[in-house]
Amino acid sequence: MIRLKNGNLLKTAAVSAIAFLMVNTLQAQVEQQPNPLRYGIPSLTIAPDARGGAMGDIGAATEPDVFSQYWNPAKYAFAYSHAGISLSFTPWLAKLVDDINVTYVSGFYKINDYVALGSSLRYFSLGEVLLQNSEIDPGLIVNPNEWAFDASVSIKLAETFSMATAFRGIYSDLGAGQREDDITPAAAVAVDVAGYYNNYFIMGRNECMLGLGFNISNIGNKVSYDGGATSTFLPANLRLGASVLFPLDDYNTLSINADANKYLVPTPDSAKIKENLYYFSEMSPITGIFRSFSDAPGGVKEELQEIMWSLGAEYAYDNKFFVRGGYFHENQYKGNRQYFSLGAGFKLTAFQLDVAYLISTVPSNPLDQTLRFSLSFDMDGLKNLMKQ
């Protein structure tokens, strides 16, 4: 449990700092001034599933699966099964506290060979927080949480290309609705626009599969925790990915995957904090997206520092046993999340279990040793079992 003290203003800053710590304060002690991006609802950026998490947070162009709603919903149009559902659970910042976690449910249904529907529900719990105005104040225990629900439509526009749109509703209550002070719940709506290319090519004597994908996510209104006095951008993000699947023989396959992504939010100037607050509060979300490509105080060099990249691989035996590994890199001045990840999966006719483990390569990283668990069900497999 987290304990916060000394008044409403401090409580507001402290609770907000807890959420911000999740993804944007893993900064190294270096000579250059760190200048991480600032945005609201950071739980939206947490990779929810064990498959993508085991490959270094990758999923824009990997083979379609039930988790595609987060990475690239356009992949659903190329899914092999007609329907699926999954449940993922991630204890978050487990090295610091033991009651922060992410629960994620996703699923899809293919109407026909060209159209698929997808949906997901994300629940982020910040555990118990004790708020006190003084040492003698008995305080109030609250349970801050954030929710996001979305639905998508994926359409195959050609035999090798599909596009999708997702609509998302977001709700964040840092006081869990239990306090009457200057913190108010925040709500937003957002959309994603995604595309996926899937085709086969010959390498040597083998027929390999090439996947290319993009996802522009969380394009929506800004959020406010003080009744609209100030507002913060959603973590809009551009993700690009590529994947190549190699058949090693009749039973063994290997995929090599890569993702690059950039948050589409304005870059703050650490020397002008007060000016930033006013300037960003007045800026529209769409303006912020376009300016995010050219507004870094350090110019092109700093803009390039804002690009995060991942490399990952997946080995599969008979499409039943999987071993995965990957690496994620974020610049040391923009958050300094740098880690290896590994994981495994086991698939039977109707269900699949996946596990992922994170190993930080920088010191004092609260994300180190993060575990992810995912359980998914193939509706076609369940139907076949029921017929037996």
Task: Give the residue from 301, 217, 205 showing the smallest Cα distance to 246.
Answer: 205
148-158 confidence digits (pLDDT tens):
999 999 999 99
pLDDT value of residue 222? 93
DSSP of 1-13: -EEE-SHHHHHHH
E strand residue ranges, the chain: 2-4, 83-91, 101-110, 115-125, 129-131, 140-142, 145-158, 161-173, 186-203, 206-220, 237-247, 252-263, 308-317, 321-329, 338-347, 351-360, 371-378
Main-chain dihedrals φ then ψ at residue 355, nearest 5 degrees: -135, 140
pLDDT value of residue 54? 97
- pTM score, whole prediction: 0.87
How many domains does one find in the chain? 1
pLDDT value of residue 363? 85
User: One digit per residue, pLDDT tens: the chain, 388 residues?
Assistant: 544 444 443 344 444 444 444 444 443 334 567 888 889 999 999 999 999 999 999 999 999 999 999 999 999 999 999 999 999 999 988 888 888 999 999 999 999 999 999 999 999 998 877 766 666 666 677 788 999 999 999 999 999 999 999 999 999 988 755 555 567 889 999 999 999 999 999 888 889 999 999 999 999 999 988 877 788 899 999 999 999 999 999 899 999 999 999 999 998 876 666 666 666 777 889 999 999 999 888 899 999 999 999 999 999 999 999 999 999 999 999 989 999 999 999 998 889 999 999 999 998 788 888 999 999 999 887 777 677 6
Torsion of CA 68, 72, 78, 81, to 10 degrees: 10
Percentages helix, strand, coil for the chain, rounded to the nearest 5?
A: 20, 45, 40
Q: CATH no. for residue 327?
A: 2.40.160.40
In this structure, the chain runs to a length of 388
pLDDT value of residue 386? 74
Do residues 72 and 369 make contact, with C-beta atoms less than 8 angstroms apart? no
101: domain range? 2-387
pLDDT value of residue 184? 83
CA-based max dimension of the chain: 76
Cα end-to-end span (Å), the chain: 49
pLDDT value of residue 48? 94
Strands across the sheet containing 2-4: 2-4, 129-131, 140-142
